[in-house]
Chain A
Amino acid sequence: MLRFVVRRCLLVLPSLLGLLVVTFLLIRVVPSDPAVAMAGDAATPEQIERLRQQYGLNRPIWEQFVSYVGKVATLDLGESAFSRRPVAVDIAQRLPATLMLTFCALAISVFVGVPLGVIAGLSHNAWPDYLLRVFSVMGIAVAAFWFAIMLQLLFSMELGWLPLRGEISATIPRPPRITGFMVIDAMIAGRFDVVADALRHLVLPAVTLSLGGLATIVRFTRAGVLDTMQQDFVFYERAMGYRRWRLNWIYVLRNSVTATVTQIGLLFGGLIAGGVVVESIFDWPGIGSYTVQAILTGDRQVMLAVTLLVGVVYAAVNILTDLVHGVLDPRLMERG
Chain B
Amino acid sequence: MTMKGPMLGRRQVAGLAAGALVAGSIRSVQAADSSTFVSGFALPMNLDPHQVYDVPMQSMMLNAYDNLYRYQNDPPQIVPWLAESHTVSDDGLLWEFKLRPNIKFHDGSPMTAEDVVYSFRRVLALGLAPAGAFLKILKPDNVTAPEPLVVRFKLETSYAPFFAAIPSISIVNPRLIEPNVKNGDWGKAWLASNGAGSGSYRIIPAGYRPLEYLDMEINEGHFLGWSHNPKPVKKIAYRPTKETSTRVLALLNGSLDCTDPNLPADQVEQINASKIAYVQKDVVMRTFVIRMNNTKPPFDNLNARLCFAHAFNYMGFIKDILGGYATRDPYPMPDNLWGIPKDVKGYDYDLKKAKEYYAKAVAEGAPMKRPLELHVQSENEQSVQGAQLFQADLAQIGINLKVVGNIWSNLTTAAAKPDTTPDMWVHWVSTYFVDPENWVGQMYDSQFHGTWKASSYYKNDQVDALLRKARAAVKQEERAPLYEEAIRKIMADSPDIWIYNSMQLQGLNKRVKGRRFCTVGQGAEIRWITLDG
Residues of A participating in the B interface, judged by any CB pair closer than 8 Å: 30-34, 36-45, 47-48, 50-51, 79, 82-86, 90, 93-94, 145-146, 149-150, 152-153, 156-160, 163-166, 169-171, 174, 176-177, 280-283, 285, 289-290, 293, 295-298
B245 with A40: CB separation less than 8 A: no
Report Cα–Cα, A50/B255, bound state, in Å: 44
B237 with A170: CB separation less than 8 A: yes
B13 adjacent to chain A (CB < 8 Å): yes
Report Cα–Cα, A34/B409, bound state, in Å: 7
A149 with B17: CB separation less than 8 A: yes
Digit string of B7-51 for contact with A (CB within 8 Å is 1, else 0)?
Answer: 000100110011001001011110101001010000001101001
B412 with A171: CB separation less than 8 A: no
Stretch from B366-374, B385-393, B446-454 that touches the partner? B446-454
Which B51-81 residues have a C-beta within 8 angstroms of A?
A: 51-54
Name the CB-closest residue of A to B252: A157
How many residue pairs at the A-B interface have CB separations less than 8 Å? 197
Select one of B26, B31, B136, B189 contacting A170, CB under 8 A: B31
Report Cα–Cα, A293/B42, bound state, in Å: 13
A–B Cβ pairs within 8 angstroms, 17 of them? A36-B452, A37-B409, A40-B128, A40-B131, A47-B132, A51-B128, A83-B193, A84-B188, A85-B46, A85-B192, A156-B253, A157-B18, A158-B24, A160-B27, A164-B246, A281-B246, A283-B240
B324 adjacent to chain A (CB < 8 Å): no
- Assuming the contacts A32-B407, A152-B246, A170-B31, asked whether A164 and B450 have C-beta atoms less than 8 A apart, the reply is no
A153 with B18: CB separation less than 8 A: yes
Select one of A33, A40, A157, A171 contacting B27, CB under 8 A: A157
Report Cα–Cα, A42/B255, bound state, in Å: 38
Report Cα–Cα, A153/B15, bound state, in Å: 11
A83 with B27: CB separation less than 8 A: no
**Chain B, interface size: which category?**
35 or more
Digit string of B199-215 for contact with A (CB within 8 Å is 1, else 0)?
Answer: 00000001101111100
Question: Which chain A positions have C-beta within 8 A of B33?
Answer: 171
Select one of A38, A45, A149 contacting B129, CB under 8 A: A38
Question: Which chain B positions have C-beta within 8 A of A295?
Answer: 407
Question: Which chain A positions have C-beta within 8 A of B45?
Answer: 82-83, 297
Q: How far is the CB of A122 from chain B (nearest CB, A)?
A: 37
- Assuming the contacts A84-B51, A149-B10, A283-B239, asked whether A164 and B249 have C-beta atoms less than 8 A apart, the reply is yes
Report Cα–Cα, A267/B308, bound state, in Å: 51
B504 adjacent to chain A (CB < 8 Å): no
A165 with B250: CB separation less than 8 A: yes
- Assuming the contacts A36-B452, A171-B33, A177-B206, asked whether A47 and B135 have C-beta atoms less than 8 A apart, the reply is yes
- Assuming the contacts A42-B453, A83-B45, asked whether A37 and B412 have C-beta atoms less than 8 A apart, the reply is yes
B21 with A153: CB separation less than 8 A: yes
Name the CB-closest residue of B to A41: B453
Select one of A36, A85, A159 contacting B210, CB under 8 A: A85
B413 with A280: CB separation less than 8 A: no
Which B399-430 residues have a C-beta within 8 angstroms of A?
A: 407-410, 412-414, 416, 420
Question: Which chain B positions have C-beta within 8 A of A30?
Answer: 410
Report Cα–Cα, A144/B449, bound state, in Å: 45
Report Cα–Cα, A93/B253, bound state, in Å: 29
Question: Which chain B positions have C-beta within 8 A of A39?
Answer: 127-129, 132
Report Cα–Cα, A47/B136, bound state, in Å: 10
B127 with A47: CB separation less than 8 A: yes
B253 with A157: CB separation less than 8 A: yes
A45 with B416: CB separation less than 8 A: yes
Report Cα–Cα, A283/B260, bound state, in Å: 14
Report Cα–Cα, A37/B13, bound state, in Å: 33
